[in-house]
Amino acid sequence: MTETLIRNARTVLTMDDDATEPGGIDILLRDGVIAAMGEGLPATGEVVEARHCVVTPGLVNTHHHLYQTLTRAVPGGQDALLFGWLKTLYPIWARFGPEEIYTSAQVGLAELALSGCSLTSDHLYLYPNGARLDDAIAAAEDIGLRFHATRGSMSIGASNGGLPPDSLVEREEAILTDCIRVIDAFHDPSEGAMIRVGVAPCSPFSVSRDLMREAALLARDKGVMLHTHLAENAEDVAYSLANFGCTPGQYAEDLGWTGPDVWHAHCVKLDPQEIDLFARSRTGVAHCPCSNCRLGSGIAPVAAMLEAGVPVGLGVDGSASNDMGNLIAEARQALLLQRVAQGADAMSARAALRLATRGGAEVLGRHDCGQVAVGMRADLALWDVSSIESAGSWDPAALLLAGPQKVRHLFVEGRQVVRDGQITTLDLPTVVARQNRLARTLSEF
């Protein structure tokens, strides 16, 4: 039995149904679960002092391409729109292999952990030179984050009218076979699972209609979730209208890509009918505000989605289009972006933080995460509000308005992955040095 007592938390943003915010309480973590909450709990294991900390659920990231941390700020892609940006990066990604996938995932996961993230999904959709989903999963297991890996894919190369080069696409039969392999090898459907696997063709413009349909059938047969990019920008919608004769939302519905076991990244250009469809079918959305700003894609109608009842979480998206992977900063960006579009009362600091925690957990089908409550998994982020970022704040729990951008302590399944602002589970300077070496080699090619 392992126990940790978080003692005397200044404020706990529980994200429970009543949005309660108790102060001055202890939280007991036992065997991966929140075992008790209250004043003056007895300590029988390790004690973490939280007098200066605001405690939140561990943040949940619903969209990422971890491998892209190796191609941040690539000069040719710095100022391009989505399709031009992809065409710049595809040839570089084609030179990746297992070591690049593993190391870039370590860097991306460490960056997320330092920003308070305890659960992340990853969308890996290219497998050059022997790379496998297993490489990213190994990185997550090593650092100790809860991980929803998705087996992405691309099957329509340039010679067939698609966007990616032929060297980065796979045969559809091989894609489906490997989806089955990784689900059987890694997917854990049980409560408290550290690893789950989803099925995730990259986007409607890089796979066939057949593969979209087959992927949905396979995912339902296996009881796993579905994920892809949808309605990211105006070009994306124009492609859908020209090639499929319908909007992205309609295309998704026709192929079985709606429901509580599906979440789509971006959805910047959903129209009111599509929002209604997503709300009725409980189809989730991964909102990626920094990426949408960075690529000039537009402002997703998140306030309207929430109003309609669409499940919405946040995603940092791949580091090549952000280029950071800081989830607490992403939550602040979500708040700012809705206010640009809708006014200062469009989204409160607490509502944006809710998207980053419970909202994301719901999108990923994790009803055991995303709240600080007895019986939930022991995934907690502790934010030190005695530091300069909060100095003078009248409401330190309004973290996104004035608060730290790095977590002080992070617990995942009761295990301390960040202690005093440092990752405990890997030697970060060594990992960063290896990543920079790999980036240099790729750039010299």
Q: Least Å distance between CB 66 and Zn ion?
A: 11
Nearer to Zn ion, 4 or 292 (CB): 292
Tell me the CA distances in angstroms from 438 to 92, 95, 109, 129, one per residue in order.
12, 11, 17, 15
Interface stretch with Zn ion, choices 93-101, 294-302, 311-319, 419-427 (CB under 5 A): 311-319
- Which residue, 236 or 317, is less far from Zn ion as judged by CB? 317
Question: Residue type for 276, please?
Answer: D
Q: Which one-letter amino acid corresponds to residue 225?
A: M
Distance CA 194, CA 187 (A): 9
**Taking a C-beta distance cutoff of 8 angstroms, is the pair 142, 85 a contact?**
no
Q: Which residues lie across from 33 on neighbouring strands? A: 30, 377
Cα(227)–Cα(249) distance, rounded to whole angstroms?
Answer: 14
Cα separation of 143 and 290, whole Å? 25
Residue with the closest Cβ to Zn ion? 317
Could you tell me the smallest distance in angstroms from the CB atom of residue 229 to Zn ion?
5
Of the listed pieces 43-51, 313-321, 384-392, 426-434, which binds Zn ion according to CB under 5 A? 313-321
Question: Which residue lies nearer to Zn ion by CB, 135 or 317?
Answer: 317
Q: How far is the CB of 266 from Zn ion (least distance, A)?
A: 7
Pick the stretch among 114-122, 159-167, 309-317, 434-442 that binds Zn ion (CB under 5 A): 309-317
Stretch that binds Zn ion, among 91-99, 317-325, 342-350, 365-373 (CB under 5 A): 317-325
The residue among 119, 16, 130, 101 whose CA lies nearest residue 59 is 119
Q: Which stretch binds Zn ion (CB under 5 A): 4-12, 71-79, 315-323, 341-349?
A: 315-323
Minimum distance of Zn ion from residue 65's CB (angstroms):
6
d(CA 187, CA 199): 11
x/- track of binding to Zn ion for residues 276-305 (CB under 5 A): ------------------------------
What is the Cα–Cα distance from 357 to 400, expressed in whole angstroms?
13
φ/ψ region of 344 (left if φ > 0, alpha if ψ in -120 to 50, else beta) reads alpha
Residue closer to Zn ion by CB (options 26, 317) is: 317
Number of residues in contact with Zn ion under rule CB under 5 A:
1
Binding interface with Zn ion (CB under 5 A):
317
